[in-house]
Amino acid sequence: MRQRLHEYLVGRPAGASPDELLDLIFTSPGRDPEFGRRLLTTLLGADPRFHFDPGADRWRARIHDALARPLGETTFVVVDLETTGGAPTPEGIIEIGAVRVAGGRLLDTFARFVKPAHPIPPFISRLTGITDAMVADASPIGAVLPQFLAFAGDAVLVAHNAAFDVAHLNAAQQVLAGRPVDAPVVCTLRLARRLLSHLRRRSLDAVAAELGVACFGRHRALPDAQIAAEILCVFLERALQRGINRIDDLLDFQRAAVDGRPFIVHVPRARLEDVPPRPGVYHLLGADGRLLYVGKARRLRERLGTYFTNARGHSARVLDLIRHTHDFRITETGSELAASLLEARQIRELKPPYNRQRKHLPRVGFLKLSVRSAYPRLWVTERLAADRATYLGPFRSRDAAERAHAILGRLFGLRTCAGALSPAPDTTPCLSGQVGACTAPCAARVDLPSYRGQVDELLAFLGGDDGPLEWLRARRDTLASDLRFEAAARAQRDLELLESLRRRQQTLAWVVARQNFVVLLPTLPRDAALFYAVLGGRLAVEVRITATVDLAAAVRLVRERFGPYQGLPLGREEVDGTTIIAAWLRDRGAGEGILLPLDGPDAIIDRLDELTVTIRDLRLPGPLPAIDGLA
């Protein structure tokens, strides 16, 4: 435990409050603050590696005591390297440029060519202007690096994207002295992320342009170091305006996340190199191996990489998850649909503490037509529910669903207000009823059979009746002939939306329309096929097929469950899978899975030979097969 806290404080030069350290020890809320402080005193007080600063109410690692000095009394050495490219190696540096900064002024400079071990690539020569002839008589890095370190002395090193420059310096110093460069490092790129958060690009050129710093001689070491030094001087002034007065506070500030605490990742970024850029599910694990979070990704490497990047979009909850994550494991699924379904099942079964209920489900908009009420109402929802309501969709967003909601409610005169209805002639209708957008059953202006007829007209329209579209086209033409062009344009937009809605309802809404089909997907590696059967609007069968016996079991389950699943409302445990299937149908591209409609329980028997061939082909590398009758 002490070692863990020491490692944390080593990464936080300005120290950490007792509450911050206790957050690393205890993950559950409700602890006793006084007990926590006594615990830290007992745990750390006698350890010489720690000391408590009562004035700042912080615990500190003693190795950072020398950094508790004012920025105005600190000397900086801004460095830039030109290299042959590629990974950091001792032989890759071809030029070192540096400038000393103190008291807000640029002082003496350092500039040396370095003779590399290999010829300079043509691209690097074109970029920097440095040729093999220019470095032919230069000293090797073994002679130049000690000269630079003597120039730097005990100053704070600074670079733009310091991770690059320091990695090359460390690689060389490791070979020469058996240890990395021993100096605190300030990165002007990291400072730009905090002080110029509005910038989309934070390259040296972009930051210099934002601050009005002239750029001359770019892509040579000393000119680039001088540009970065000018930027540093501006950033130091802005840091002082924010109350950052000491170098240890500046080092913490550049590493801080959006919540002001340091952005610390316990998992080495090198672990990402073994992660494939393919669909799958990942588990984030705590220091003791406990499961913290389950997520899915279209590309696992990119998604996991976001946890290693100090992004301003991280919420407080995500930052807390990152700070407690010490390892991860992955499961490749072969498709995003399989990843989504596996994620939902594991969240439901494993209940990881950092997963919020249903937050993992895709954002899907639906229109819902209630059936329990005598006067059904139409409203927008983002989730399918375990009921017998009629759902329209899925829409790409809630906004799109709300547009369709407004048009359908007005076109068919349906009520959109919430609450139970008790029709009475003395009731004052809501605004929709007053302007005629609703037939106002609340005020008894329409009887029950007539209102039911309005609902039937909506369902008939969705089934293919063109009457409402023809009426809307005629209205558009009439408005245009009356020179009411804005109203005609609105009618045209309404017409286009309704046509799109009906196409979506007829081609994408198999799930919510209670239809039946099979989805076949390949796995990675291609040693199996995934078989999903949607029956009665819910995911009813899920089988991994590796042999004929698995296919026989899947077919048997489909036949057994087909009839019983047709009239049942969705069960609570079935809603997640149904929502995921609906979003996949909405978004799937060409070649993403094979669909087989099922007209009855024996339809799957009639296509058994084609199923067998398809599954065999799915287990072979290459694109998905195209088979007659399969969408």
User: What residues pair up with 78 in beta bridges, in sequence order?
Assistant: 99, 158
Strands (E), 298-357: 327-332
Instruction: Name the residue among 371, 220, 316, 261 with its Cα closest to residue 8.
Output: 261
End-to-end CA distance of the chain: 58
Distance CA 206, CA 339 (A): 39
Distance of alpha carbon 114 from alpha carbon 93, whole angstroms: 6
- What length is written for the chain? 631
> Which of 565, 586, 537 is CA-nearest to residue 337?
586
CA-to-CA distance for 307 and 314, rounded, in angstroms? 9
Closest C-alpha to 593, from 293, 226, 339, 312: 339
- Burial (0-12, 13-18, 19+ Cβ within 10 Å), 402: middle
Strands 390-395 and 517-522: unpaired
Best CA proximity match to 493, nearest among 432, 403, 410: 403
CA–CA gap between residue 76 and residue 158 (Å, rounded): 7
**Ramachandran sector of residue 86 (left: φ over 0; alpha: ψ -120 to 50; beta: rest):** left
Nearest to 234 by CA among 202, 196, 265: 196
Kind of pairing, strands 378-381 and 365-369? antiparallel
Whole-number Cα distances in Å, 566 to 368, 474, 534, 538: 19, 40, 10, 9
234-243, Cβ contacts within 8 angstroms, sequence gap of 24 or more: 235/188, 235/191, 235/192, 235/195, 236/71, 236/104, 237/104, 238/195, 239/71, 239/191, 239/195, 240/71
Integer Cα distance of 419 and 436 in angstroms = 20
- In a 13 Å sphere around the CA of 630, the CA atoms on its Cβ side amount to 23
Question: Token digits for 267?
Answer: 């998992």
- Provide the annotated active-site residues: 219
Q: Are 246 and 67 in contact, with CB atoms under 8 Å apart?
A: yes
